A and B are shown apart, each in its own frame.
Chain A
């Protein structure tokens, strides 16, 4: 499997996800500067977290117009897997790779903490090593993670099993208390219809090492390596 991480001015989780990928993959992913207009042959493209362009204008809005994103959108259309984490998810919605938008958190505050997630669709290259309905613990760190989509889009996500993860409590139940940002239908992450693009607000790369307090994110990277190698 060949993997690459896109680096924008202001990306700051690029190294973290590089480390997590290397651990599952056994070799280095490529780091690709956002000005590149051509991509090598790849099986996985990661759009990492951070503050691309300082969140100016709107989180993800400027990076969505970076030269490299046109190429990423094309590759996604060709079926290449794209993992978009946090700011990457915001960029993915801004450039149309995924439907919906990420609004400011309902608390209006940045929030960094562990959250519980329920695996809603384990039948994808990203999630195949999780169980259906499994509850995992993965950290979030964002100011704009409040997922929203209109009713028709929401219905379409439901109809096509596009919801990847929902915020839940320790027992797997959905509740307003367990939703850290007020997102629609407790959505923490979604797929595109073909299930080759995943966008999620939680940071699996921060939960891929037991020393950091959790290892539940590792299965996501292991799933990708198993599915794409």
Chain B
């Protein structure tokens, strides 16, 4: 019974000690979800304390439903990222859809209107069993939910790697807009205030979802399909509008969505944060199935539900708003001064637990870990004659670099009519409605770097996100994260976790890029095979004037192309080396955070002075891939060259802290001189124009061929006969 609840024997002993008796079944269920890895962060908390979480612009850091930052003029941004990995592997459509629903609620719970969604998808090898089915289902699920609620899905990532064959990753991020003085917290207060349930009725779906998310997968995981929740984005939309309408009054004292662990975690956490107790009458909970037991009601993860504490005497006002939006609403309890969660059902007490050990005193583990120092195969020696055209076309048409149009055309990325940079660029840009400001949003991580060297990989994930925001002209402000790893009970996996978090924390400090919210997803492994460490970073940056933004597209012919940042030709862990070696080889590129900052600040300064006509960060695939993407986006070619002529390492190496920028010829010389003065490497690479990329006058790669390769892979993959 204890093991079935995912609790270890010593954890059970701890429960008995905390409450002075053996728990009954309902209480055991409540403890099991509250102390699950998913809810308690019991393996990760020690290491997460390394993250910088404060800055003058941070209003609310980790620990609430989402992080909050101040962007001036009475505007605040509320954002968070969360995983829905296990459900999406078992049931891709509903798993991904409810992942979006959950993260939307985390944001609007705090009083924010969601204005953008992003996601990060990690699939297995394209030819792995059922992978097409998973890609199709996840994308359709994300689209169906976001499209219906009417929040644009503006950006994200999607890559393929065999380590995800048995455990795909679906991370979803929501960004919302609020007023700094109207942020709502999940802090119950006011003894005697009613506890109000609103939203969908409670069913039997998702019971033990949080526990499932805290265990490894095996060949029987498909049997866990009933633990996947089913989403109803229409109800979510009503809930969103109703909450925002009621939040305009001061009737709400505290509010929390019923996400993982449902009524259990929402009531326990609200009570714990407020230092009060809550008494619930489970008979009053609206249910959609007959004869539901108290155990099921407490543990259901039915979606689109909110729990709130309403100021006494304001119940009728709240009820009128929810009735207008055709939502179920019921008073199901009261705030008490007992410091206990007490639930009755048909008059009998079924649960009576102290709040503190449940929410604030889960077992915390200092798991053993081994530092990761992987011996890596060497980067293969390059062939003597190394033409650039064939490898460029092959990279542009590879699963990891091909155009993602097939995905994002299934997402409404324009609803709300503020999307000024659509998917496909470095960062998505959405206007702050009714102002001149805009937010830049990006989601980044390079798992192959993290696997080879977790600390460097952690640094790189943060640096790349910062760079993507910078590349559109935004000032990076803060990040949320979603840390996806295998089982923390294995020292090697803990070593990956510790390394990545340490690297991320270092980069966050160096770049003034604090962590304001996040999520940890462990046990991402199937039958002992773990996913590559994937510490996903979701960043938010601010453009004080939306029209300062630059795009990746070459704007016109005759612009000068400059390379900003140092190029050593680092091929370790590069996609180019992988295409030669068949697997990852070498060490990832070093991340020099001082250079990152120096180069980025220089580029952002040029953008703010309106001196650039295009800008693109250099990442996967290296310089020539970045140039090809700029040419394709603008439908303008370029004549490129170096003196002396450089080889493939120069064109395909993945050195960090680099950008390609373009400007009109008149200012190019001045920019190069200013870069030199600022200790920023800058190199003139060529001029835009024509219908090809030509390199050193000898290689000619046509836009037509590049486009065919780049746009062709994804639709062809998805159209192939199903497996």
Contacts and interface: CB of A to CB of B under 8 A. Distances in A.
B234 A15 contact: no
A110 B422 CA distance: 17
A23 to B, nearest CB: 11
Given A110-B147, A111-B409, A212 B414 contact: yes
A112 B142 CA distance: 14
B140 A109 contact: yes
Given A15-B417, A211-B420, 13 more contacts: A13-B150, A19-B417, A51-B150, A54-B148, A55-B148, A110-B147, A110-B410, A112-B409, A141-B412, A143-B147, A206-B414, A206-B417, A212-B419
Contact of A51 (B237, B410, B413): B237
A51 B232 CA distance: 12
A110 B234 contact: no
A60 interface: no
Contacts of B144: 110
A19 B235 CA distance: 25
B417 A212 contact: yes
6 contacts: A9-B238, A110-B410, A141-B414, A212-B414, A212-B417, A212-B418
Interface in A42-58: 50-51, 53-56
Interface of B: 140, 143-144, 147-150, 232-235, 237-238, 325-326, 408-420, 422, 431, 546-547
A112 B414 contact: yes
B651 to A, nearest CB: 31
Interface in A172-229: 203, 205-206, 209, 211-213
Contacts of A209: 417
A161 interface: no
Nearest to A54: B234
Interface residues of A, number: 29
Contacts of B420: 211-213
A9 B149 CA distance: 11
B431 A51 contact: no
B148 A10 contact: yes
Interface of A: 9-10, 12-13, 15-16, 19-20, 50-51, 53-56, 109-113, 139, 141, 143, 203, 205-206, 209, 211-213
Contacts of A16: 415-417
A44 B467 CA distance: 47
A3 B482 CA distance: 46
B150 A9 contact: no
Contacts of B546: 211
Contacts of A55: 148, 234
Considering the complex of A and B, which 10 residue pairs feature the smallest CB-CB distances, nearest first?
A12-B150, A54-B234, A16-B417, A51-B148, A141-B412, A112-B412, A110-B410, A206-B414, A110-B143, A113-B409
Nearest to B434: A19
A111 B150 contact: no
A113 B326 CA distance: 33
Contacts of A110: 140, 143-144, 147, 410-412
Interface centre among B237, B412, B416, B431 (most CB of A within 10 A): B412
A51 B140 CA distance: 16
Contact of B149 (A12, A141, A211): A12
